[in-house]
Amino acid sequence: MKSFLLVPKESIETQARPGVRGTAQGERVLSRSTALRFSAAQKAPDALTALGLRSATLPGMKPEVSGQAPRGRKSARGKKAAKQAEATPLPGGPVTEQTGAEAGSYRFMPLIGATMAHFYSPDAEKAARGELAEEFEFIPDVVPLSFPGPVSAGQTGPRNRGMSSLATREWPDESGVPLAHAQGIRGAGVMLGILDTGVDADHPEHASKTIQFRYVSLFPNSPHNPARDVRGFDPDGHGTHVCGIAAGVHHGVAPEVDLYAASVIESETIRTSLGRVAAGMEWLLHQFSRPENASRPAVVNLSLGFPLQPPPGISEADYLLNQRALQAMLRRLLDSNILPIVAAGNSGPDTVGYPAAFPEALAVGAVDFERNVATFSASGAVGRRVVPDVMGYGVNVYSSTERRCNNQAFYERMSGTSMAAPYVAGIAALYRCRAPDLTALEVRDLILANAIKLPRSANHRTGKGLAVFR
């Protein structure tokens, strides 16, 4: 089986535009539009269906059977229609096993304007390319993404564990977090999306709120392994730590945000695929575009990225296609008035990776609580773009991780730009809470304008400085 993300070429090549428009009277139009699909996007599922691929998109109603023959005999057409009707699954019904006769399967994701296709034979792939290659990029789902590599304790101090929350949040006064909370600005009304290893919804840091959670399976676009909404869990702890920094009740920068977490990264390999990230992104956009959410401000945190170089066995062309597809997804977030915040990486100076290097992203490096740049914090330049854009606290940050079998909850100090990014995501949520009519790009500009400048470093780039709330 070979898997491809089919993305309209016009979608990849179109630059992002502000998601919120003003009217002639100056009134802000906040509603998030679900009509972001490009005109060509629908052609992929239509063509794949015609070629015999099975849809893994939510099934429709069973069609009516027409053309029945008189009683006692059925015409060939009537028999065929009846057979098709019996094979069409009802909503929520069980999915039948593959017979081996299908050409493949696909899932249409209209909000990001893409279709994930799985071809079970070379002939099926060839036929699909013949129908769609002129308008679609066939992006092989082979390049692994992962969250920034772990940071050694020798660089950052001990990774000590605790079995309780701290008496007070440890965000310094200069961060502006204590001031915001004193003014009642705690993130209420803002939606925060997290794509990571998951979140332990029953950890004391998160148990008092309802967390919308989706587990994105290893093969989320197969009808046999569907993604599903369940009680939030996290087999790794990384995602729970990230969520605690941004939105934890006792330690979070913005403890009153509504949290939407998608588990897209495996704990064993800390890797994921473009298809799983696409499925998680589609789910977030679907949640954020519901009628009750369409006018609410939103932020998305991505502590993940591509390796710096194409992995062994992956061609440069396929690697670049994967990059461009991920960039197109970030554009869809901005088109929807959602601010994407990403970790810069943990490979040190002159190691710019993606998606941090995309201009659509707000890329975050790491400093300690004394404003010293972490030795692991990635930085560099891609053309005229300097990475990171801004810095966040990312050294020995105390936050939630996991629970034992006896329900004893743990906290842990962890380091990395994976920790700095949710701090900045929390700062963005505070700004969006205070002024919900600001666009995503205006919030980005506000964060950059209010950043505290840091001393020049011989080795590191620090963007505009330390992100704070003012």
Query: Hey, how many other C-beta atoms are within 10 angstroms of the C-beta on 177?
Result: 25
Q: What is the predicted pLDDT for the residue at 309?
A: 78
Task: Please check the confidence at residue 372 and state whether its pLDDT lies above 80.
Answer: yes
Using pLDDT thresholds of 50, 70 and 90, give the confidence band for residue 38.
low
Greatest pairwise CA separation for the chain in angstroms: 89
Q: What is the predicted pLDDT for the residue at 86?
A: 39
Q: Which residues of 18-55 are buried (b: 16+ CB within 10 A; e: fewer)?
A: ebbeeeeeeeeebebebebbbebbebbbebbeebebbb
Task: Please check the confidence at residue 342 and state whether its pLDDT lies above 90.
Answer: yes
285: closest CA among 275, 270, 300?
Answer: 300
Q: Give me the chain's average pLDDT, please.
A: 82
Beta bridge partners of 349: 379
Cα angle vertex 281, ends 31, 323, to 5°? 120
Which residues, 6+ apart, have CB-to-CB distance to 323 below 8 Å? 306, 354
Structure token pair of residue 149 = 């590599």
- Cα torsion angle, 38, 44, 45, 47, sign: positive
Task: Please check the confidence at residue 373 and state whether its pLDDT lies above 70.
Answer: yes
Tell me the CATH number for domain 146-154+169-450.
3.40.50.200
Task: Please check the confidence at residue 431 and state whether its pLDDT lies above 80.
Answer: yes
Least confident of 6-15, 20-29, 178-187: 20-29
Using pLDDT thresholds of 50, 70 and 90, give the confidence band for residue 269.
low
Active site amino acids: 196, 238, 418
401: closest CA among 248, 253, 276, 269?
Answer: 248
Domains 1-15+31-57+101-140 and 146-154+169-450 share a fold: no
Q: What is the predicted pLDDT for the residue at 402?
A: 87
Task: Please check the confidence at residue 74 and state whether its pLDDT lies above 50.
Answer: no
State which fold the 1-15+31-57+101-140 domain adopts: Alpha-Beta Plaits (3.30.70)
Q: What is the mean pLDDT of residues 147-173?
A: 68
Least confident of 95-104, 171-180, 229-238, 287-296: 95-104
Using pLDDT thresholds of 50, 70 and 90, give the confidence band for residue 67.
very low
Which residues, 6+ apart, have CB-to-CB distance to 372 below 8 Å? none
Task: Please check the confidence at residue 155 and state whether its pLDDT lies above 90.
Answer: no
Q: What percent of the chain has pLDDT over 90?
A: 53
Task: Please check the confidence at residue 469 and state whether its pLDDT lies above 90.
Answer: yes
Residue ranges covered by each domain of the chain:
1-15+31-57+101-140, 146-154+169-450
* C-alpha to C-alpha distances, 370 to 92, 174, 348, 373, 413, nearest whole angstrom: 54, 11, 19, 9, 16
d(Cα 315, Cα 421) in Å, to the nearest integer? 30
Q: What is the predicted pLDDT for the residue at 221?
A: 66
d(Cα 274, Cα 34) in Å, to the nearest integer? 22
Using pLDDT thresholds of 50, 70 and 90, give the confidence band for residue 41.
confident
Q: What percent of the chain has pLDDT over 70?
A: 80
Q: What is the predicted pLDDT for the residue at 168?
A: 87
Q: What is the predicted pLDDT for the residue at 209?
A: 93
**Helices of type H across 14-160:** 43-50, 76-87, 122-132, 153-156
